[in-house]
Amino acid sequence: MAKVLVVVSDGQENSSRITLRQTVRDMEATGVTVYTISTKEAGKDKTEADKVLAILAERSGGEALFPGDLQTMSGSFNKLRDEIRSRYLIAYKPSDFEANGKYRTISITAEKNGKRYQVHARRGYHAKAEVAAQ
C-alpha cells in the first residue's frame, strides 16, 4: 500500500529535532510520498520555508502547492485529491540489482505521440538489504 503524507504548513522552522537532509533520507528510506500545501499569503517573496516545502514534495515524488489565499486553498485540496487518486505504481528490478540498502537513482518519463507529459516521481529508492537467515 502506498504511503502518502499531506503537510499543510507555512514551512517555517519550529524547533525541529532533525535536519532537512535527515528528513529527506528518512522519506526515501520509507517510500512515503509527501504533498505540501503552503499557508503563506500570496504576493510575498519566495522564502527558505517555501524551498523546504518544495524539497520535501519533490524528493518524495509528491508536489508542493502554494495557493496564496484561503479560497484558492480549497482548489488545492481538490487538485491533491485528484492527483492522489490517479497515481500509478511502477515496479521493476534492474539486471544489476544488489540487495545492499544503497540508494539508486531513477528517471521516469512519459511520452505519447511526441508529446511529453509531466511525471511526479521520486528520484530514486533504497535497495532493501536482504536479511540473513538465522
pLDDT digits (tens, 9 = 90+) for 9-45: 988 888 888 888 999 888 888 888 999 999 888 777 7
CA distance 93 to 58: 23
Q: What integer best gives the mean pLDDT of the chain?
A: 84
Q: Band of the pLDDT at 52, cuts 50, 70, 90?
A: very high
Secondary structure in 3-state letters for 112-132: ECCEEECCCCCCEEECCCCCC
